[in-house]
Structure 1
Amino acid sequence: MQLVFATNNLNKLKEVQLLIPKHIKLLSLNDIGCLEDIPETQDAIEGNAIQKANYIKEHYGYDCFADDTGLEVDILNGEPGVYSARYAGPQRNPEDNINKLLNALQNQTNRNAQFKTVIALNIDHKTQTFTGVCKGEITSTKHGQNGFGYDPIFKPTGYNETFAEMDLSLKNTIGHRGKAVSLLVDFLNS
């Protein structure tokens, strides 16, 4: 079996490759010659994931899965949410996004948040979705060099380190994307 993972984010690709069983050949967008930006125009995380998976199936013919992930901060009514990657603007700069979020939370004591990933699988012209959530809190300063995006300021519940301080195998076990991929793999194996 081969599946396309519809992402241009090499960090996501690396994380997911570690979680997908070896009997499933994972193709990247680069592998299928998809060099354009895939539209993400929906107003919900699930909608963007479905839109991306359907785009690859319709335009390239491959069975595909796509994810969309958002960081949802309680005190900010779930922001940045679906706009997490472009929270500080269309340039999609992780440092700018982190700084904007830390500024928004500057005088807040409630720093509860969650990462939410929805994976949409388009296989045999049918769509299934799988959701993974990791609850935690936003730290007041950045910690760690691993990971990407908001990882340096997200500390999962029950842990004393941020995602950016964790080993990738631990992050994959407890994290939102790992949980969603696990549900995807269970479905593919059934």
Structure 2
Amino acid sequence: MKLNICVDIDGTITEPYYWLDMANRHFGTDIKPYQVTTYDIHEVLKVSREAYNEFYNLYAETLHSKAEVRENAEIVLWKLNQQHNIFYVTAREQWIKKTTENWFVKNELPLAELHMLGSHYKVERAKQLECDIFIEDRYENAIQLALEGFQVLLVDCSYNRLPLLPGITRVRDWIDIYEEIETIYEKLNKAEARIA
């Protein structure tokens, strides 16, 4: 039995604050990672959503090209790719797809199916992919997915430290993620063996 594992990209595979230096330079701010207490970047920077969108549209390709990979993400993703089915499910829009694919190649990450939704709402895609586990950093996404019965691993960040619902497990890093997936997999195998 293989698990279907959906994996978000930004803040999950990438370092969560990779956009901060460029945003600080652009807006003349001096925000530190610990001050990022909401996922909505324009609120963190205290600028309008329009101003942030303008910045993002100008620099998205540079930002996403230079994003650093979280520690151990490469090793764990390759292991998961060998053992299970992985799908990258991101809110990024289609126009940034080539940049995203190039980033995966440059960082020697497994090339799994890439789903560019252009929206933070991921429940329907998780259903289509028959997702067993969803790895995510955005709190609101984790809540939506958990309410629909999905098992979510929420990667700890300064902007998602809010109360968790059943079905959401907070993980510190990619080693934690791998261990949680192994535990879930063992439980499912035991349950299957009992049914058989």
Q: Please, what TM-score do these two structures have when normalized by structure 2?
A: 0.31
- Normalising to structure 1: TM-score of the pair? 0.32
More helix by share: 2
Q: Which has the higher contact order (CA 8 A, sep 6+)?
A: 2
